[in-house]
Amino acid sequence: MKSFKIIMVALMVLSSTALIAQIKNAQTETVKIFGNCDMCKTAIETAGNIKNTASVDWNKDSQMAEITFDSKKSNRDEILKRIALAGYDNDHYLAPDNAYAQLSECCKYERQKKEPAMAMSLSKMEMEMHESKMEMNMTSSENHANMLMPEMKESNSLEIVFDTYFAISDALVKTNAVTASAKASELLNAIKVLKIETFKTADQAALTKVLPSLVADAKGISESKDIVKQRSKNMHEILAYYSSHEPLYFQYCPMQDANWLSKEKAIKNPYYGSQMLSCGSTVETIEHNN
Amino acid sequence: MKKLILVLLFLGTFSLQAQNIVRYDLYVRDTLVNFSGKERHAIAVNGQIPMPTLTFTEGDIAEIYVHNELDEETSLHWHGLFLPNKEDGVPYLTQMPIPPHTVHKYTFPIIQHGTHWYHSHFGLQEQIGMYGSMILNKRTDDKTFRKGIDDLPTIPIILSEWTDIKPENVHRMLHNASDWFAIKKGTTQSYGEAIKTGYFKIKLHNEWKRMLAMDVSDVYYEKFLINGKSENEDTSLKGLKAGDKVRLRISNGGASSYFWLTYAGGKITVVANDGNDLEPVDVDRMLIAVSETYDVVVTIPADDTAFEFLATSEDRIKSASIYLGTGIKQLTSPLPKLKYFEGMEMMNGMMKMNGDLDQMGMNMSMQQMDMNVVMYPEITGPAANGKGMKMDKDDEEHSGHKMEQMNGMKMSEDMYKSNELSDITTLNYAMLKSPTVTTLPEDAPIKELHFTLTGNMSRYVWSLDNKVISETDKILIKKGEKVRITMYNNSMMRHPMHLHGHDFRLLNGEGEYAPLKNVVDIMPMETDVIEFEANVEGDWFFHCHILYHMMSGMGRVFSYENQEPNPLIPNPALALRKLKGDDRAFHLMAENDFATNGNDGQLMIQSTRWSIGTEWRLGYNDMHGYETETHIGRYIGKMQWLMPFVGFDWRYRKLGHNEFEENLFGQKNTKDNRSLVSLGVAYTLPMLVVAQAEIFTDGNVRLQFERNDIPLTQRLRMNLMWNTDKEYMAGLRYIATRNLGVTTHYDSDMGFGIGAMLNY
């Protein structure tokens, strides 16, 4: 495990520099953006990112975001306004009430800067919008992970590997074989485009060691539409190097005698999904050290 | 002694008032601006866009010196002001335009109060920066002074828009029915999109009724602006606290954009319109028509927070914001995108086959019924669009028809009453009420006038009673008359009709308290009645304030009988000719396809009624031949579907020895070397197919059917042609940029080719 931690830190540095390199006249600022969970992270970054112009990296724990932008094409306020319109209060903008109301339950962070005087009653419009959004959410919930992808491609290829890993895990947790299979194909593609020679020698060695089994497992999942077969794959072999500021949890399923990585401390067992969702334990917390 | 003092005192106050002259110097200069990332030419006054805010108090005398430092002429119109006719600033009507590099002085007493604005009335200068706020304050001792409104801190706001395309070019493109703006907006409403979203039948029906893609505005703008910026922090008012009220004096200086106004801090209280006080009325949002002014009061609900006041263009593509208060910015929700296909379905329903609008027994007036609500997701529910469509299809059908069933009948007025369909209160004209009695002298003779607003989107002809300004005489009115105008909008666009020099009463059901206005926005199918007292001599313009509609001739001139000649118009005949020149202008269109099998192209100049066009097909060798056809025709009727024409054909080709071609009627023709004159007629059939019948001087007859620019996708167009000379053509064009396309076509004469199309 230790060696992976080292790789993780190393790669994090790599990935962040790669990110900035795409944006010309880059200027970086750190701002506070309120939010709760990983869904928030996705939503915030999706709202803020513009290809080759602006990129947002939000940290769930500190609720701080590093925003990098082309100072000739964009500015801090413009990016933060877009994020606020997606429902997230920040240092400079407060989200419209109905944008906040449309956030999914897990994203409903506590609004701090909101003056109580401002609590306006939800008008019918907002209610309707809310309902419609809910509907949309329902129809597109499985697309949700899909929506992640375009943004991720902009940041860097390794991050796609990480994110597809978690998407697979998520799909397995939700007992969604089709999505799991699709995500696994994406993971394969992501690995294909990974340029190993660009990493440091030590990292290269580690990567070449884990990649074959990673590819094999991903292939297995992608080729099957049967959730049981998918789950029989050794999730713990699919190793992730995560470039996040947040801790990761290395978790263990005693029934399968297998491990997996998770972004959440709470157990959501990908091997059994809804059958035995909370079975398992956290073996190790991989803290990110700044 | 006492008497003397009294008299002296009297004189003193009198002279004091007379001396209250407020002078402004306006330096009009060419400038370069960068609103969108591209440098463009614009016109700045005193170095700024918008022009500086001019402030007066009722009773002042205005002296405004216009220093025209442009290389072209200009003139300034004081919108909504009562003033002597020669100060009104309409070139060739109330004055000759101000020549380049000269100074012109406008002077007039300020005899009213309220929010007004001023702009260039010359050419299309208004589009590129020549607009500004004009604030006429009430005297504090005015009887109508309203505590809590007239003493509030005030921010003048002028709304406008910016396009990177030169306005002359915008105007030309509109006349050529260019769909470039629709492409930029993403509102092509192509067959591809229609099929994908399940609206194929509606699209077919739409083209069957000979309509082009529908939209609520004509021009794509790069930016919308509040006081010249997209994002404004108000710095004029410091230290606003929770509970403070602010009065916004809003003028819509946009050349062709209506704006939705919404506020992050709650309700908007409307207190005045077009410079006239109103009984305060609370609304959630309002649509401000081109050239209207509204005074609104908003409350700052919290400390340390700046609340967004949002102006969104009617097509909801973009917006501009101003933040009121200081601190963290509280945003308001953007307006959801329009459901265009729903709008198309609505248009299909109201359009008769002959191009008239079908009121279906509804009496529409005063913006209360808004057919556009079918496109507003916030009122009529979100669009069933794209991928979600399949799943929601049943649901959509359901809700779409539910309403019809609910009301028992097919169509009903309640379907379009925005304020009854939702909890969102939208301002409409029926809600406007003057705080004072506005009735006109009862004994005055009444002059009744009726106008039907007419228009034709595909040829961009806008008119009253199907006549443009140059086709009509001035309408004579008498001083002391009450002029009552009934207008019915039989066109597919809304029109903000503006009267110069007078306020009119808008007969909106408030009786004696009918509001005073100088702009009335009339939606399609609406009938509105206005009346005004003819009390100032002169020639007064009455026109649609959408700049490109006005320049196309949508207006009239009211002229007082037996009035004094205007000293600023030394040659009335010349001036009149120049005035009529605007809508008599011809607009050029040209394109050429440089293809592997030859050159295909056309050149056309068209005016309101006339069309002169040449088409050519030039092969690369004698076998393929060279031919041109020139048609000079005149459009007939309101919809201009019919065009008789005279044609000139010339062709040279070597087919081989004694080869003849035979047409469908058995008439023979070598086609090799001919130059002929023809008589013909073209008629636009349903599905926008142009049928053309032509008889040539050699006795040959030709019938041709042609359909151009079928929108397959956002940018892909198809052309089809067949005629009785057994010629046919099918082609595809991909619109790459505004002036460049990639084409492929098959032609019975020249065979298959691919090429690059340049168009202007």
pLDDT for A166 equals 74
SS (H, E, C) B740-760: EEEEEEEECCCEEEEEEEEEC
- CB distance from B301 to chain A under 8 Å? yes
Residues 6+ apart with CB under 8 A from B90: B75, B77, B121, B500, B539, B541
Q: How far is CA A56 from the centre of its chain?
A: 13
pLDDT for A189 equals 79
Q: Which helix (H) or strand (E) holds B287?
A: strand B286-288
- CB distance from A95 to chain B under 8 Å? yes
Contacts of A146 in chain B (CB under 8 A): none
Residues B134-157: what's their mean pLDDT?
93
Point out which residues pair with B559 in neighbouring strands: B476, B539
- CB distance from B242 to chain A under 8 Å? yes
Contacts of B316 in chain A (CB under 8 A): none
Residues B489-502: what's their mean pLDDT?
94
Residues A277-287: what's their mean pLDDT?
69
Cβ distance A132 to B392 less than 8 Å, yes or no, reads no
Instruction: Give the lowest-confidence range in A13-22, B161-170, B234-243, B255-264.
Output: A13-22
pLDDT at B73 over 80: yes
Contacts of B230 in chain A (CB under 8 A): none
Cβ distance A96 to B392 less than 8 Å, yes or no, reads no
Chain B, 468-507: which have a CB under 8 Å from a chain A CB? none
- The residue of chain B with its CA nearest to that of A73 is B37
pLDDT for B395 equals 40
Chain B, 313-372: which have a CB under 8 Å from a chain A CB? 328-334, 336
Residues B106-113: what's their mean pLDDT?
96
- The residue of chain B with its CA nearest to that of A138 is B388
pLDDT for A286 equals 65
**Nearest CB neighbour to B328, from listed A94, A123, A125:** A94
Cβ distance A139 to B392 less than 8 Å, yes or no, reads yes
pLDDT-derived band at B1 (thresholds 50, 70, 90) equals very low
Residues B505-519: what's their mean pLDDT?
95
**Nearest CB neighbour to A118, from listed B37, B302, B391:** B302
- The residue of chain B with its CA nearest to that of A124 is B423
pLDDT at A138 over 80: no
**DSSP 8-state secondary structure symbol assigned to residue B691:** E
Contacts of A140 in chain B (CB under 8 A): 387-388
**Nearest CB neighbour to A96, from listed B301, B331, B392:** B331
Q: Are B351 and B357 in contact (CB under 8 A)?
A: yes
Q: Please give the mean pLDDT across all residues of chain B.
A: 89
**Nearest CB neighbour to B328, from listed A113, A117, A139:** A113
Residues B594-600: what's their mean pLDDT?
90
C-alpha neighbours within 13 Å on the C-beta side of residue A138:
7
pLDDT at B94 over 60: yes
Cβ distance B328 to A92 less than 8 Å, yes or no, reads yes
**Nearest CB neighbour to B424, from listed A120, A125, A136:** A125
Q: Please give the mean pLDDT across all residues of chain A.
A: 69
* pLDDT per position as a tens digit, B573-584: 999 999 999 999
- CB distance from A138 to chain B under 8 Å? no
pLDDT at B712 over 70: yes
The whole-angstrom distance between A92's CA and the closest CA on chain B is: 5
Instruction: Give the lowest-confidence range in A164-173, B90-99, B299-308.
Output: A164-173
Cβ distance A73 to B242 less than 8 Å, yes or no, reads no
pLDDT for B511 equals 92
Contacts of B380 in chain A (CB under 8 A): none
For the residues of B149-166, what is the DSSP string, one character each?
A: TTTS-EEEEEEEEE-SS-
pLDDT at A192 over 80: no
Instruction: Give the lowest-confidence range in A208-222, B164-178, B228-242, B303-317.
Output: A208-222
* Strand ranges in B314-408 using DSSP code E only, listed in sequence order: 319-324, 328-330
Instruction: Report the distance separating Cα A165 and Cα A188, nearest Å.
Output: 10
Contacts of A111 in chain B (CB under 8 A): none
User: Which of B269, B255, B268, B508 is closest to B367 using CA atoms?
Assistant: B508
pLDDT for A158 equals 66
Cβ distance B231 to A95 less than 8 Å, yes or no, reads no
Point out which residues pair with B181 in neighbouring strands: none
User: Which of B510, B494, B504 is closest to B437 using CA atoms?
Assistant: B510
pLDDT for A114 equals 55
* pLDDT per position as a tens digit, B370-420: 888 888 888 887 766 443 333 333 343 444 443 443 433 345 666 777 777
- CB pairs A-B closer than 8 Å: 81
- CB distance from B284 to chain A under 8 Å? yes
pLDDT at A275 over 70: no
User: Which of B541, B567, B571, B569 is closest to B553 using CA atoms?
Assistant: B541
- The residue of chain B with its CA nearest to that of A100 is B333
